[in-house]
Amino acid sequence: MKQTDEYVLWFQECDISSFPTVGGKCASLGELLKAQIPVPPGFAVTTKTYTRFMEENCLYGEVDKLLKGVRAEDTASLEEASERIRCLIEEKPIAIELEDSIGEYYRLLSKRCQIPAVPVAVRSSATAEDLPGASFAGQQDTYLWIRGVDQVLEHVRRCWSSLFAARAIAYRKKMGFSDQEVAISVGVQKMVNSYAAGVMFTLNPANGDRSTVVIDANWGFGESVVSGLCTPDHFLVNKVSLEIVRRTISAKECYFATNFETQTVERHECPAERAWNQCILDEEAIELARVGKIVEAHYGKPMDIEWAIDKDMPTGGRVMVLQSRPETVWSSRKCQPACKPGASAMEHIVAGLLMGKKIN
């Protein structure tokens, strides 16, 4: 593979120290690989690429002019400025040298995956994500099932422009961040051929209980769960015993899957006979919880994890982590211990087990 350059890095070349260069998502993916967590392969288009693109096209001055006088509470002016800025960014050319570098990494990724023009997710990875006291995560765009160099380059530009989505501009203004203070990287990651996907918290987001792992799952890609478009299946797994203590199967209204004729991701209504079926096996829920514990141990804090189960992989190795970030709601709160200080190890285990009743 190519040696590291300043414009593109493989995920395995990234870690938490790469945050200023590759942003929160891509730095986290590198950290996960170091912890030997299964992560789909890919690369990061660095913030230096974004900065060079903006400078060569003289866009910083244009952006400042368009944002001058725009107020966070003025929705109309935010939307107008955002639309004009995004059009400016998406119509400007990327330097040939940068195009060649991104294209070469995409070619090598396709070769590594043994899939011509490998389908990828193109994900924004901003340098302000997951900062203490601010939550920028989820404000920029992600594009699924992108194929071919030209499409990858187009969607890299779209990710750059999403730094100036109206909601992102408004949030920066409210939080006191300047628009040039935040840069953006883009992750290009092999698509998982998932039959089920969703999110997982290594604590219970409903009450902050750290003795449990909570998993929400649906058929297809995880977008339906992440965006709240469906009512997912819900699993509560005891973190100590790795036993399912609660299982709620829901009527999953919709799911996202690939249309192989158009090579696009489409939303589908979930047929009644499938909607009420459990979308992941109990064994897969337990394996997800086990992986979640490893991720939490690596970071030393509760985590919010996006995952998918790859139907192309053999049983026992299907769980893939797509991204992870620190859980932000309960982690900063002081939680009450399950039992009194000085309790024995057995008392701690029993207290954890009593948080829920095992389902046979």
Domain residues of the chain, as ranges? Answer: 8-190, 194-353
Using alpha carbons, list the distances in angstroms from residue 157 to 86, 94, 120, 248: 9, 9, 15, 41
Bridge partners (DSSP) listed for residue 194: 310
Degrees, nearest 5: CA angle 47-50-53: 150
Residue 177: the pLDDT is 81
Quote the pTM value. Answer: 0.86
Residue 281: the pLDDT is 95
Query: Which amino acid type is present at position 300?
Result: G
H-assigned helices in the chain = 19-34, 47-56, 59-67, 75-91, 96-113, 149-161, 166-175, 223-226, 272-275, 282-299, 345-353
Q: Is the dihedral of CA 220, 225, 228, 231 positive or negative?
A: positive
What CATH superfamily is the domain 8-190? ATP-grasp fold, A domain (3.30.1490.20)
Q: Tens-of-pLDDT digits for all 360 residues of the chain?
A: 444 579 999 999 999 999 999 999 999 999 999 999 999 999 999 999 999 999 999 999 999 999 998 999 999 999 999 999 999 999 999 999 999 999 999 999 999 999 999 999 999 998 865 444 445 444 578 999 999 999 999 999 999 999 999 999 998 888 888 887 788 999 999 999 999 999 999 999 999 999 999 999 999 999 999 999 999 999 999 999 999 999 999 999 999 999 999 989 999 999 988 999 999 999 999 999 999 999 999 999 999 999 999 987 766 668 999 999 999 877 666 655 556 666 676 776 666 655 554 444
CA dihedral 75→80→85→87, nearest 10 degrees, is 130
Per DSSP, 277 falls in state: S
Q: 194-353: what CATH class?
A: alpha beta
Q: What is the distance between the alpha carbons of residues 196 and 344, in angstroms, rounded to a whole number?
A: 40
Residue 357: the pLDDT is 47
